[in-house]
Amino acid sequence: MTLRLAGKAAIITGAGSGIGRAAALLFAREGARLVLGDKTDAVHDTAAAVQAAGGTATALQVDAGVEADVERLVAQALAGFGRLDVAFANAGVSGGMAGIFDATPELWSEVLRVNLVGPWLMIKHAGQAMVQAGRGGAIVCTASVAGLRSGAGGPAYSASKAGVINLVQVAAQQLCESGVRVNALCPGLTETGMTRPTFDYAKDKGVTHKLGRLNPLRRAAQPEELANVALFLASDEASYVNGQAIVVDGGLSSSHPVTRQLPGQTAV
């Protein structure tokens, strides 16, 4: 069976845990050579796990919202592998749940810097490298269901992820005829480093069964489930998917809030 990323070089940010780590292991298994970035030293553990499984990975501790750091990631891929085919701009911060009246400009600036400026920087530098190489490529940016409508995150986080969705649409248009595709991945509630406090709280209270109960699948997602969709978007299987926000949320965003019941039951 042909590996879906055979011969390709990929960058993944936010690779220290969660979706980024799951994507690193999966992309490597599918043949990609990796440059992994994360703000924490856990990125080295991810690279070691990839290498232990027989893959190729270089780890850099970077801030995904700093232009020089994003340039370092791209330069490392080009120097180490001679090419760059895939960029997964996955790094993000939650910013907490501070409301419109409670949040500070500093909080908003930081959330937007990492969650929105970061993906733009990846599109800018990875996209330019791909265009110059003339082989096309795939850029995937992690957005969120919180970027679709209210109710899934704090104001700053939600606004930043809405920006990511619009960003990939604009970028897909501006990279017209280059063969570089730009798409967004919109996770619902997923067990990651960013959501760990929510999951730890539920475990401590013995209410893990309530996590994800608002979506039709009645559960939260695991990072591997999001990584599988990121892999699809990164691969040639998604060769005609461009400028899209792919939602992976167990069906949460498929409906407005309603009282649900099985067929034949009466709503109360």
pLDDT value, residue 255: 86
pTM of the model: 0.92
Of the candidates 5, 1, 35, the residue with the CA atom closest to the CA atom of residue 236: 5
pLDDT value, residue 210: 58
Structural contact between residues 120 and 72, judged by C-beta atoms closer than 8 angstroms: no
pLDDT value, residue 203: 64
DSSP per residue over 251-262, as a string?
TGGGS-S-----
Of the candidates 211, 187, 215, 192, the residue with the CA atom closest to the CA atom of residue 201: 211
CATH of region 9-249: 3.40.50.720
pLDDT value, residue 268: 46
Q: What is the mean pLDDT of each run of 10 residues along the chain (268 residues)?
A: 95 98 98 98 98 98 98 98 98 93 97 98 98 98 96 94 98 98 95 63 60 80 97 98 97 76 59
Is-catalytic flag, 157? yes
Q: Catalytic: which of 27, 88, 120, 157?
A: 157
Sorted by where each begins, the domain ranges of the chain are 9-249
pLDDT value, residue 1: 79
